[in-house]
Every structure is written in C-alpha cells, then in structure tokens.
Amino acid sequence: MDFDNSAYDDINVTPMLDVAYVLLIIFIIMTTASIQGIAVNLPQASAQPSMAESRTKAVSISADGQIYLETYPVTLPQLESLLAQYKAADPDLPVVVKADASIQYQRVVDVLDLIGRLQIKQLGLVTQKLVK
C-alpha cells in the first residue's frame, strides 16, 4: 500500500455546515416560540391620546431661531419656567428636542444646557433618517 503523506489541500466543510444549519433551525424555532407568549384579551382604549402619550414635551427650534414648547413660541426664561413646572408635576418628564438643521449650534446648546440645569434625565434628540 502506498499512502500519500502530503498535507491536505482543502478542508471538508460539509460537517461544519450541517452543524451550522441545525443551530440555525434551533435558533429560529426558539425565538419564534419565545415571542408568541400567552394570548390575552387586551382592553380597548379610546381614539383620544392618552396621558402616557401626551406627557412627553417637545421643544422645537425653527430655522429663524425661535423656540417653541409644543406649538407655542417661548423665550428661554419662559421655557425654563414651564419645564420646571412640568418637572415638578412629573419627575420623570421626557423631553424631545427638534431643531432645524440650518440654525446656529449655540441655540441648541442653550436649550440643552437649560434642560440639564432642570435635571431632566429623559431627553431625546429628533433627527431625520439619512436617505441614500
């Protein structure tokens, strides 16, 4: 018998692919089983916005630098006063900041600084998804 003592030129990956496919199938079955959960009959809500949805305050800064709380124009001192009142009523007050892309960066920093002074911890910055 003549045995070839040379090194293998390639690796047989078929058994490794079989194991990967089995693991993939197990992963798919386990994730879909855990997502389904228990069927419950959920209560119906009215079409009106709920208090949970309306508790978030939106601060907007327009292209001309005007600051708005929700849809009402305010100055920085007025904004601070109003947000302080809302924070007193709801310590976990969430605030989102929407600013026009063309405004001065300093205007956004002023609003963020004001929110930081009020110790508002739940802050979101609204951006637009980049379209390629």
pLDDT by residue (tens digit) across 23-80?
Answer: 999 888 877 665 444 455 556 666 655 545 557 888 888 888 889 998 889 999 999 9
H/E stretch holding 96 reads strand 94-99
| Structural domains of the chain ordered from first start | 54-125 (3.30.420.270)
Q: Taking the model in full, what pTM does it have?
A: 0.56
pLDDT of 105-119, one tens digit each?
888 899 999 999 999
Q: How far apart are CA 119 and CA 128, in angstroms?
A: 26
**Which residue shows structure tokens 């959920």?**
42
